[in-house]
Amino acid sequence: MLTHQRKQFLLDLLAREGQIVAKPLSASLGLSEDTIRRDLRELAAEGLLQRVHGGALPMLPVLPASPALAPFAGREQLAQDAKAAIGRAAGAMIKPGQLVFIDGGTTAVQLARQLPRDLQATVVTHSPSIAVELVQHALIEVVMLGGRLYKHSIVNVGAATVEAIGRIRADWYFMGVSSLHPQTGITTGDFEEAAVKRALCAASARTAVLASPEKLQTASPFQIAPLSEVSDIVTSQQVDEVLLAPYRELGITITLA
C-alpha cells in the first residue's frame, strides 16, 4: 500500500470509527507500528486529525470554552439551584448496598450533600471535598483514593490514583465534567484529571455525567472519552430539548432534575 493510499485509508477509518488505535491497526494491516505513527504525525501536521497517545482522534471543532474551567470557588457560584437539583436526582439513582465512584467538582459536592442520611452504600472518591461532605453519613463507607492534589478541582490525580482505581469495580460513576458535546464527547481542562476520569469510567458498570446547563455544547482541551462510554446524563429540566436531542439519539438516558 502506497503512502497516499495508507493515509486515505486512515482518514476513512477515522471517519467511520471516530478513533484510530495504532497498535492493533498495524497488526491487522501487517505494517510496523512506527509506520502508522509516522502517517498519523504527518496527517496531524496537515490539520486533518489530532494525535493522541496510542493513536488519533478527529479534529475538534472550535466550540465555546466552558465556564467550568474557572477556579473552584468561582464555579461554586454558577447555576447553584440547578446543581442542587442535579445532585438530588443523581443521588436517587443509588440503591442501598451499591459501591459508587463520586467525582470531584461543584456539582458532585451537591450530590454528596443531597444523599439520604439513611443510605447504606460505599462511596469511593479522589475528592477531599466529597469525603468531608460524607462525614456525617453514618451508613456510608468512604474510601479515599490518594495521589497528587490537583488544586484547581481539589481532587487527587496521578499514577497512584489510576492504579488504585484499577483494583475496584463500581456500580456507578458519577462524573463531573467541564464540557459535554455530541461530537467532541466529554472533555476537561487538565491532562492528568482526564486520565483519572477515564479510569473511573472504565471501572464502572454505568457512568452518569452530571451536566449543569452551562457545560452543554462546550469544549475543553483534553478528551476524557467519547459519548459512547456514557450511559446517563443528569441535567436541568430548564435545558432546551433541542440541545438534548443529539444525546438521546445516541441512546443515552437523560434524567431531568
Residues of the chain with CATH 3.40.50.1360: 67-256
Q: How far apart are CA 22 and CA 188, in angstroms?
A: 24
- What is 67-256's CATH number? 3.40.50.1360
Q: Please count the residues of the chain.
A: 257
Amino acid 220: pLDDT: 84
Give me the chain's average pLDDT, please: 89
Burial class (CB in 10 A: 0-12, 13-18, 19+), 157: buried
Locate CATH 1.10.10.10 in the chain: 3-57
Q: What torsion do the CA atoms of 209, 214, 215, 216 make, to the nearest 10 degrees?
A: 90
Which helix (H) or strand (E) segment holds residue 188: the answer is: strand 185-188
Integer Cα distance of 92 and 257 in angstroms: 11
Identify the weakest region by mean pLDDT among 2-6, 60-64, 82-86: 60-64
Q: Quick one: cell of 103?
A: 467525582
CA pair distance 46, 255, nearest whole angstrom: 41
The reported pLDDT for the residue numbered 161 is 97
Q: Looking at domain 3-57, which of 1.10.10.10, 3.40.50.300, 3.30.450.40, 1.10.3720.10 is its CATH number? A: 1.10.10.10
Dist. CA 203–CA 201, nearest whole Å: 5
Q: Report pLDDT for 52.
A: 80
> What pLDDT does residue 66 have?
52
Give the model confidence (pLDDT) of 74-126 as tens digits: 555 556 788 999 999 999 999 999 999 999 988 999 999 999 999 999 999 99
Q: How many CB atoms lie within 10 A of CB 24?
A: 12
Position 148 pLDDT exceeds 80: yes
Which parts of the chain fold into alpha helices (H)?
Answer: 3-17, 22-29, 33-45, 72-75, 80-91, 106-114, 128-133, 159-165, 191-202, 241-249
User: Percent of the chain at pLDDT above 90?
Assistant: 58
Residues 6 or more apart whose CB falls under 8 angstroms from that of 53 comprise none
Main-chain dihedrals φ then ψ at residue 204, nearest 5 degrees: -120, 145
Confidence of residue 56 (pLDDT cuts 50, 70, 90): confident
SS3 string, 73-86, reads HHHCCCCHHHHHHH
Q: Minimal CA–CA distance to 187: which of 213, 217, 167? A: 217
For residue 238, which of 252, 214, 256, 216 has the smallest C-alpha distance? Answer: 256
Q: Give the whole-angstrom CA distance, residue 45 versus residue 41.
A: 6
